[in-house]
Amino acid sequence: VVLAVNGIETPKLWLLSNLDNTSDQVGRNLMDHLANEVVGLFGQPLYPFRGPQSALGIDTFRDGKFRGNNGAFRMTIGNDGWGRSEPVGLALDHALWDSDNKKIKKIGQPLQQAVQDRITHQLRFSYSTEQLPDPDNRVTLSDERDALDVPRPRITYRIDEYSKRALAYGHSVARRMWQHLQDTARATAVEPLQADLRFLGAGHLMGTMRMGTDKSTSVVDANGRSHDHPGVWVVGSSVFPTAGTANPTLTLAALTLRTADALANTL
Ligand X SMILES: Cc1cc2nc3c(=O)[nH]c(=O)nc-3n(C[C@H](O)[C@H](O)[C@H](O)COP(=O)(O)OP(=O)(O)OC[C@H]3O[C@@H](n4cnc5c(N)ncnc54)[C@H](O)[C@@H]3O)c2cc1C
Active site positions, annotated = 204
For position 244 contacting ligand X by CB under 6 A, the verdict is no
Residues 6+ apart with CB under 8 A from 26: 11, 14, 15, 19, 208, 209, 219
Strand partners, 189: 40
Please report, as residue ranges, which positions from 166 to 205 form the binding site for ligand X (by CB under 6 A): 203-204
The smaller minimum CB distance to ligand X, of residues 2 and 168, is found at 2
Smallest distance, ligand X to C-beta of residue 246, A = 8
Q: Does 155 participate in binding ligand X (rule CB under 6 A)? A: no
Nearer to ligand X, 9 or 130 (CB): 9
Q: Does 140 bind ligand X (CB under 6 A)?
A: no
Q: Does 51 bind ligand X (CB under 6 A)?
A: no
Please say which residue, 41 or 130, places its beta carbon nearer to ligand X: 130
Stretch that binds ligand X, among 82-90, 157-165, 213-221, 246-254 (CB under 6 A): 246-254
Evaluated on CA atoms 101, 106, 108, 111, the torsion sign reads negative
CB of 52 to ligand X, least distance (A): 10
- Name residue 138's beta-bridge partners: 156
Strands (E), 175-264: 188-189, 200-201, 233-234
**39 Cβ neighbours under 8 A, 6+ residues apart:** 82, 85, 90, 122, 123, 124, 125, 190
If the CB atoms of residues 9 and 181 are measured against ligand X, the closer one turns out to be 9
242: contact with ligand X by CB under 6 A: no
Please list the residues that pair with 123 across neighbouring strands: 40
Name the nearest CA neighbour of 38 among 176, 224, 135, 144.
176
Q: List the Cα angle 68/71/74 in 5-degree steps.
A: 130
CB of 86 to ligand X, least distance (A): 12
Please identify, using beta-carbon distances, which residue of 8 and 189 lies nearer to ligand X.
8
6 binds ligand X (CB under 6 A): yes
Instruction: List the one residue out of 152, 231, 212 whose CA is nearest residue 23.
Output: 212
Question: Angle CA(122)–CA(126)–CA(129) in degrees, nearest 5?
Answer: 175
**Nearer to ligand X by C-beta: 32 or 190?**
32
**Closest by Cα among 87, 89, 92, 88 to 105:** 92
CB of 237 to ligand X, least distance (A): 5
Strand extents, DSSP E, the chain:
2-3, 34-41, 54-58, 73-78, 97-98, 103-104, 122-129, 138-145, 151-156, 188-189, 200-201, 233-234
Tell me: does residue 237 bind ligand X (CB under 6 A): yes
Q: Determine, following the binding rule CB under 6 A, whether residue 138 of this chain makes contact with ligand X.
A: no
Give the footprint of ligand X on residues 9-38 (CB under 6 A): 9, 13
Stretch that binds ligand X, among 55-63, 126-134, 157-165, 242-250 (CB under 6 A): 242-250
- Does the protein bind ligand X through residue 5 (CB under 6 A)? yes
**Interacting residue ranges for ligand X, rule: CB under 6 A:** 4-6, 9, 13, 203-204, 236-237, 247-249, 252
